[in-house]
Amino acid sequence: MRSPTHFILILFLVSLFGNVLFLQAQAKRKDIGKLVFERSCFDVIHYDIEVKIKPTEKFISGSNAIEFKMLEASTKIQLDYAKSMNLDSAEYLGKPIAFKRKGNIVLFDFPGGLLKNSSHNLLLYFSGKPLEAKLAPWDGGFVWRKDNNGYDWVGLACEGLGASAWLPCKDHWSDEAEGADITLIVPNDLTGVSNGKLIEEKLIDSAYKAFHWRVVNPINNYNISINVGHYINIKDTFSGVNVVPLSYYVLDYNKASAERHFLQVHGMLDAFEHFFGQYPFKDDSYKLVETPYWGMEHQSCIAYGNNYKNNVFGFDFIVIHESGHEWFGNSITASDAADMWLHESFTTYAEALYMEYRVDKTRAIEYLSEQKKKIVSKYPMQGPRGVFYHGRTDSDIYYKGTWMLHTMRNILNNDSLWFACLKEMNTVYFHKIVSTEEIVQYFNSKTSYNWDLFFNQYLYKSSIPELEIKQTVLKNGKIIYSMRLESDVKDLNIPLNIKLPNGQTINVVVSDKSVVLELDTRFDLYAFIEANYLLRIERE
């Protein structure tokens, strides 16, 4: 058996390697980061995708009918497609239309102009050998694998790479199609699984079968999912705020494990509906699909590859984390990948809340303490916009993010208000695209507390504020603490709400001016701050 240190080292190397690949992918696709007028002048309404997958050749071919509406009049629009793929032809109004390719960009000219508010359809035919993932889900691309019985098993993960790595589309987080039809044509001994509900399954010829899936809610490009395998389907139902169909596509030989293991989906949905409100995609169902890589939050079609294992806290990380993204990432979506902390921080925090709901707050704090060890604080969580920036420079948008939110809860010191904020956020921004600024403004107005300096520090600076504490033990058994906050953001102050064992709370605001506090020696102030605030304690 591997020792835990080996395991940690492997995890570290995997994450390091993943991040290097991520940065490479980002650099390659920088040209599609900017939201130029040719992209912002239109809004994608619908994608109708048909794609044939040939696993033996690692080849795909198909079409995408894009319905879009002009937000401004224009004679040009820009779509995106990886230069390594073929854009075979395009049709507009039933006739071929010319296009220009420039790197990963595809430009269409409409000499007569497209009027504001007019709607249009472009039909694009594509083919090629899409980029193969080196280390999915971090680097992205297709994963071509064989299952234990020798059947082809195909997956796709392209969050960091962008869907235009395989599909011609408008590849920017600020624009989601309002719905999509996805038809997967796969070898006829296999099943093709995508997002939403299965509408139709039919034989195409002696070798291929088509699976037509429909999504009736807005969907991010990178969530559009392709899964092909020798699957069997397990059905279940969740009765929560609404009745939600549950559906699991797993490799046939894992049926018994999946039936047992996925029972925890009920407890997860129950916990997340408690904190964040209704499961956001009831009309598209909730699905888990077994994948040849670890996991990904593909909307209503979550990629699951964690081998039916729970962590030491008794839950399956992939089931809980990736499902949390249905609320934060899929329903509430960041407008630019630079604001991706909105997806990961809230979802990682949801894991701790899941612990609080299923066990208790003490266990949640223990879980958070484990997360805290992974904070790097080398880069700010908020990235630059318009450059296809992807916030996974390190893992701070996860672990520093969850601690930023936990700290906010303790600053606010009003759990009913804090949880009302989290729940209402999911109503106010249900199926919406948001920016960091909007969310900062949301918390300012909902809590009547100004979080501007706090977010400036925790999102836009890499450092963690330092709390210098000087202690003097008195003869009467008390300790005098003199505390001073040192931070990169001028005038930042942090209210500490210190809860004593007798039920009393002492409120003290730490800032760059020294503040003094007198406490009983039996109270461990350091442990209290460690458990509730993201501050670097400097004992003098």
CA–CA separation, 22 and 20 (whole Å): 5
The answer to whether residues 442 and 425 touch, using CB atoms and an 8 Å cutoff, is: yes
- 345 or 407: CB nearest Zn ion: 345
The strand pair at 99-102 and 494-499 is best described as unpaired
Binding site for Zn ion (CB under 5 A): 344
Orientation of helix 396-412 relative to helix 525-532, angle to 10°: 120
Residue 139 · residue 146 · CB < 8 Å: no
Minimum Å distance from CB 229 to Zn ion? 23
385 touches 336 (CB < 8 A):
yes
Contact 152, 187 (CB under 8 A): yes
Of 301 and 535, the one with the shorter C-beta distance to Zn ion is 301
Please state, in angstroms and rounded to a whole number, the distance separating the CA atoms of residues 227 and 497.
49
62/401 with CB nearer Zn ion: 401
At its nearest, how many Å lie between Zn ion and the CB of residue 262?
Answer: 19
| Pair type for strands 286-290 and 243-251 | parallel
Closest contact distance (angstroms) between CB of 398 and Zn ion is 7
**Residues 353, 414: Cα–Cα separation, whole Å:** 16
Residue 343: count other Cβ atoms within 10 Å of its Cβ: 27
Distance CA 331, CA 429 (A): 8
Q: How far is the CB of 303 from Zn ion (least distance, A)?
A: 11
The enclosing H or E element of 158 equals none
Number of helical (H) and strand (E) elements in the chain, helices listed first: 12, 28
Q: How far is the CB of 329 from Zn ion (least distance, A)?
A: 7
If the CB atoms of residues 422 and 483 are measured against Zn ion, the closer one turns out to be 422
SS (H, E, C) 202-252: EECCCCEEEEEEEECCCECHHHCCCEEECEEEEEEEEECCCEEEEEEEEEH
- The residue among 176 and 344 lying less far from Zn ion, judged by its C-beta, is 344
The residue count for the chain: 540
Q: Report whether 237 contacts 244 (CB < 8 A).
A: yes
Name the residue nearer to Zn ion (CB basis): 317 or 442: 317
Residue 518 pairs in a beta bridge with: 480
- In contact, 412 and 454? CB cutoff 8 Å: no
Nearest distance from C-beta of residue 418 to Zn ion, angstroms: 22
CA distance 110 to 112: 6
Between residues 152 and 297, which has the closer beta carbon with respect to Zn ion? 297
Contact status, residue 162 vs residue 171, Cβ threshold 8 Å: yes
The answer to whether the beta carbons of residues 85 and 61 sit under 8 Å apart is no
Distance of closest approach, residue 276 Cβ to Zn ion, in angstroms: 15
Q: Closest distance between Zn ion and the C-beta of residue 159, in Å?
A: 9
Closest separation between CB of residue 325 and Zn ion, Å? 6
Closer to Zn ion by Cβ: residue 74 or 371 = 371
CA distance 52 to 194: 13
Q: To the nearest whole angstrom, how small is the minimum distance from the Cβ of residue 435 to Zn ion?
A: 19
Of 316 and 344, CB closest to Zn ion = 344
Tokens of residue 215, six digits: 């999504």
**Nearer residue to Zn ion within complex by CB, 114 or 397:** 397
What is the chain's Cα-based Rg? 25
- Closest distance to Zn ion from the beta carbon of 154 (Å): 22
> Which is closer to Zn ion, CB of 165 or CB of 296?
296
> How far apart are alpha carbons 198 and 183 in whole angstroms?
10
- Read off φ and ψ for residue 463, nearest 5 degrees: -75, 160
Beta strands 105-114 and 99-102, pairing class: antiparallel
Residues 92, 110: Cα–Cα separation, whole Å: 10
In whole angstroms, give the CA distance from residue 402 to residue 413.
17
Least distance between Zn ion and beta carbon 323 (Å): 10
Q: Which is nearer to Zn ion, 80 or 344 (CB)?
A: 344
How far apart are CB 334 and Zn ion at their closest, in Å?
12
CB of 227 to Zn ion, least distance (A): 18
